Structure 1
Amino acid sequence: MANLKVFELYCMLIVVFISGTYAEKYRVCVVDGKNDHKQSRQYCPRLDQEDSPVECVVATDRLDCLRRIHKGRADFGVFTPEDLVAAANSDVDILLTNEIRYFPDTKFEIEIVAVFSNSAGIRSKHDLPGKKYCHPGYGYEADWTRILANYFEASVVTPQCHSNLTITENRVKASSDFFGAACKAGPWTSDAALDFQLKSKYPNLCKLCGNPSTCSQNDKYWGRRGSLLCLTDGAGDISWARLEDVQQHFGFTPGTIPTNPEGYSLLCPDNTIMPLNSTNPCIWVVKPWPVIATQRKKAQKIQTIITSLVSTDEETWQSNLYDLINPINSVVKPINPIIGIQTYFHNSKGFLNANSFSGCHPPRTIRICTSSNIETAKCSWLRESAAVYGIEPDLDCLKADNKTHCMMALADNAADVVLIEPDQVHQAKRDFNLKTLFYETVHDSKKYLTSIILRKDLNINNLEDLHGVKACFPIYDGVAWNSVVYTLQKNKLIGCEVDKEMANFFGESCVPNSPKDSPESFRKLCQADDFTGEMGALRCLSSGAGDVAFVSKNSMINFLNDKYPSHHADTSFLKIACLKKNGSCHLSWAPLGQAMVRSSSSDMWVKDTYNVFLQLDALFGKDFKDPTSPFNLFGRYDGVPNVLFHDYTEKLRNIPTVKNTDLMDLPYANILAEEKICISESAILSGNFIVMMLAMVFSILIC
């Protein structure tokens, strides 16, 4: 077999020597890292040259690479075991050709054991209740997922399913009731406030830590070696640790300073015990190495190329490809024979079963409502990714025809969460009694800033000057519409009969989606769907139909940069007006989007659900911990922008700002909360108002 591979490579090189080019190019899928870690920029220019049999295909994340290979748009790439589980659950057809091992003779990347002190009186799992537990903690999930971190407890602790507690608290409470004391340092949840509450409520799980009051990542017993120090310092009875760290800690690895291994043993998952220095130690769960995965029909040829690679200082395609797939200079080991995902995991003890521990019945599921095929597809991959990394409750994806139908589904308890645009927030709150779960927060430059866009030749110096001008709005009852209504009411330019008075204040207008019984002037300027939405309102203005448009400042910038078709409109005479005395040129601001849930949702359910999305943000958002992103929460999906979430989103938060210090004035949420400002002084002094107030007082006295 080895001679055959050498012969194939030899033939390939002969072809190159004769022709100077390759008849077929194999496409390696590349995922760039954060910030300046752009592997494509570093390695792909050399690979894309004619003398190379390989060219680059750049993807947004590793699961994007899997989809590209599955659809035949790429041929191979590097993937983690978690990626492979998601691929298997999504029926992606790939084969595995090579492992990327940091240590050539180590079969798995991670092997985890349970080490206990012989003085603790542990002879089997039945002796564990009431013992003191040393855990490595949380906060380095890039290679130590919560599934691996929680595997021991999931194996020995009886789960609890109190209906009035979140899933996170149920797990914490079960461990707190099972162990006498523990050190589980680091963030238990992604929500800092909830994390503090849980640690205050279950302090025995921090009792063994060096600083129990903080129980943080700065604790001396936090981290891979921290759990072993907790054990050998005498604080705890049993430690959950990586075998590699155990061997180093107790001096079984050459060149290490040992801790005396006498008095310590291994607790085995089959309920037996084993000496610490056993040549074949008992493992609870393993994590396999990263692999090269390929299209089935090209697997053998790609394995031949990959196996032949070496790293050199020479600027060759071979060296560039080797460094691209193996940036930390590990050993690229062929898998013989080439195998599928299920076969690869067959001998990976515990890895596939880690998610199969019994949960609560009926299971808790967060149902996300989507409104397009591509939203549903991204949601499905998000669901698989969340499951692989141990995020609970589970996600489910339900498709409706549009966002309004999604809101109806939430109101009818047929779905739980819908992600909407700012223009839909008022409808969600008013018509379907929904409330905000979280906001997609962005930097100031990316916020929706409601702006007044004018023709440069229009002499407008204050709000009163807008009287009688022809107005273009993106949509009825949206951010721009409600912000203009609020501003005019606040300045006592219109009263409470909004539609009638807006029609009287402005001239002929285009207000898309306005009710059928609204004034006819709202439809005078509209040209079918051409003037609908942000870009439509700007086309309405730039075509000469309107005098003023109320849209987001960023829409104006994109329109002028011709990022959207302008239908040959003249944009040279447009300007952003600043009509406010305090210097603020915007009428309101809003985040790009937000998630809505039923207002009747319980506090417990809201905590559970919000925590799930914070975990998704931590794993798959802008601050992901892996060298490359496993799944891009905020970014293009299959080349399409702003699917489910917006590309510019920085974080998910339960307040609409990136930071608590954000002091930008006129948030749209406040405008919606002040809908009754239209009660003017004249109305208050009117006889009708006085009669109404007297009637209310009289009814109270009678009661």
Structure 2
Amino acid sequence: MFRKIKEKQIVSAEFRYEAVIVVHKDLPVTNLDQLKGLKSCHTGINRNVGYKIPLTMLMKRSVFPAMTDRSISPKENELKALSTFFSKSCIVGQWSPDPKTNTFWKSQYSKLCAMCEDPAKCDYPDNYSGYEGALRCLAHNGGDVAFTKVIYVRKFFGLPVGTSPATPSSENPDNFAYLCADGSKVPIRGKACSWAARPWQGLLGHQDVLAKLSPLREKIKQLSRAGAESKPDWFTNVLGLSEKIHLVADNIPIRPVDYLQKANYTEVIERGHGPPEPVVRLVNHEEIENNIPN
């Protein structure tokens, strides 16, 4: 059983957010292989819509470099592949928790910082990072392709978002388009074509005791209504609800695996780089001594 917890502003949306590619409408691309050599704008390192999802999808393309070099770490494999595939990019953030490694990688793969507001820093805050920053990078800093999510595309171009009305914007949505997985383009004013979607949070229960869980589901509904006004600690800490997040009662429970597959999100979670990495075995001092020949 799966029961969704949603943001009130976009309660009608099937998923929490959708990952999209935005391009200039006249960009001569009819196949995703043609993304190779373009200038890309990302939200930031390790972020879902701007890094993990596009990396997962691009790995399927034969033109994308293999990430199986065992002489370097998996993370450096990713950076090396992205630096080889795109001509320039903006991927800000801490690429490694180790300052020396972080500095070395940003020097080694400097093309991944070249589209940023401050390429030497390549870190937050940066005017060309984040959901809207990636779009600014596309619209005003020479980017060819931006990886972001639908709700911020609509905000950037002043279009309605869920229950929120349109807002004034100096950006013209008619100059841009969504790039779909099949290489086609969709107008920004229309329904977006998503590469993958982030599922809503949810409450889980065993399928074989679904009937017994009905009273519990009703109790959770009652609790969510009771706590909506005063917002006691348990409202957030136990139910995970807030001013923006509330419970949605699904008439037909959804299996988590079906929901993830529908969102095309399973591959993002399970993403690997290729052949299994060498196994590391942890042993104690006695085991080492016992296996040393006399």
Which residue of 172, 177, 186 maps to 1:274? 186
Q: Where does residue 290 of structure 1 map in the other structure?
A: 201
Distance apart, 1:367 and its partner CA: 3.0
Distance apart, 1:257 and its partner CA: 3.0
TM-score (norm 2): 0.82
Q: Where in structure 2 are the equivalents of 1:53-72 lying within 5 Å? A: none
- Judging changes above 3 Å, is the alpha-carbon distance between structure 1 residues 146 and 229 closer, same or farther for their aligned structure 2 residues? closer
Amino-acid identity (%)? 22
Distance apart, 1:356 and its partner CA: 5.0
Q: Where does residue 146 of structure 2 map in the other structure?
A: 239
Distance apart, 1:295 and its partner CA: 4.6
Alignment of 1:109 onto 2:16: yes
Q: Where does residue 99 of structure 1 map in the other structure?
A: 4
Q: Which SS does the other structure have where 1:120 is aligned?
A: coil
Q: Where does residue 262 of structure 2 map in the other structure?
A: 347
Kindly provide the amino acid, as one letter, of the partner of residue 11 in structure 2: P
Q: Is the 8 A contact 2:44 2:50 kept in 1?
A: no
- Name the count of aligned residue pairs: 276
TM-score (norm 1): 0.36
Alignment of 1:335 onto 2:246: no
Give me the whole-angstrom Cα distance separating, in 2, the residues matched to 1:241 and 1:130. 19
Q: Where does residue 444 of structure 1 map in the other structure?
A: none
Alignment of 1:326 onto 2:231: no
Q: Which SS does the other structure have where 1:224 is aligned?
A: helix
Distance apart, 1:355 and its partner CA: 4.5
Which residue of 384, 396, 408 maps to 2:288? 408
Distance apart, 1:145 and its partner CA: 9.2
Give me the whole-angstrom Cα distance separating, in 2, the residues matched to 1:149 and 1:165. 21
Distance apart, 1:366 and its partner CA: 5.0
Q: Is the 8 A contact 1:176 1:204 kept in 2?
A: yes
- Judging changes above 3 Å, is the alpha-carbon distance between structure 1 residues 262 and 145 closer, same or farther for their aligned structure 2 residues? closer
Q: Where in structure 2 are the equivalents of 1:126-145 lying within 5 Å? A: 126-138=33-45
Distance apart, 1:208 and its partner CA: 0.8
Kindly provide the amino acid, as one letter, of the partner of residue 197 in structure 2: V
- Judging changes above 3 Å, is the alpha-carbon distance between structure 1 residues 146 and 179 closer, same or farther for their aligned structure 2 residues? closer
Give me the whole-angstrom Cα distance separating, in 1, the residues matched to 2:229 and 2:271. 49
Distance apart, 1:131 and its partner CA: 0.6
Give me the whole-angstrom Cα distance separating, in 2, the residues matched to 1:165 and 1:321. 46
Distance apart, 1:122 and its partner CA: 2.2
Which residue of 212, 219, 229 maps to 1:305? 219
Give me the whole-angstrom Cα distance separating, in 1, the residues matched to 2:49 and 2:41. 16
| C-alpha RMSD of the superposition | 2.8
CA displacement 1:226-273 (0-9 Å, x = unmatched): 111100114200000011111111111224232111221111112222
Q: Where does residue 199 of structure 1 map in the other structure?
A: 106
Kindly provide the amino acid, as one letter, of the partner of residue 257 in structure 1: P
- Judging changes above 3 Å, is the alpha-carbon distance between structure 1 residues 357 and 327 closer, same or farther for their aligned structure 2 residues? closer
Distance apart, 1:191 and its partner CA: 2.3
- Judging changes above 3 Å, is the alpha-carbon distance between structure 1 residues 192 and 149 closer, same or farther for their aligned structure 2 residues? farther
Q: Is the 8 A contact 1:110 1:288 kept in 2?
A: yes
Distance apart, 1:332 and its partner CA: 0.6
Whose relative contact order is higher, 1 or 2, with alpha carbons under 8 Å and at least 6 apart?
2
Q: Is the 8 A contact 1:161 1:360 kept in 2?
A: yes
* Greater radius of gyration (CA): 1
- Judging changes above 3 Å, is the alpha-carbon distance between structure 1 residues 326 and 164 closer, same or farther for their aligned structure 2 residues? closer
Q: Which SS does the other structure have where 2:52 is aligned?
A: helix
Give me the whole-angstrom Cα distance separating, in 2, the residues matched to 1:209 and 1:109. 28
Give me the whole-angstrom Cα distance separating, in 2, the residues matched to 1:342 and 1:176. 33
Which residue of 161, 172, 187 maps to 1:260? 172
Structure 2: stretches of 5+ with no match in the other structure: none
Structure 1: stretches of 5+ with no match in the other structure: 1-94, 370-399, 413-430, 432-703
Q: Which SS does the other structure have where 1:190 is aligned?
A: coil
- Judging changes above 3 Å, is the alpha-carbon distance between structure 1 residues 217 and 135 closer, same or farther for their aligned structure 2 residues? same
- Judging changes above 3 Å, is the alpha-carbon distance between structure 1 residues 173 and 221 closer, same or farther for their aligned structure 2 residues? same
Q: Where does residue 211 of structure 1 map in the other structure?
A: 118
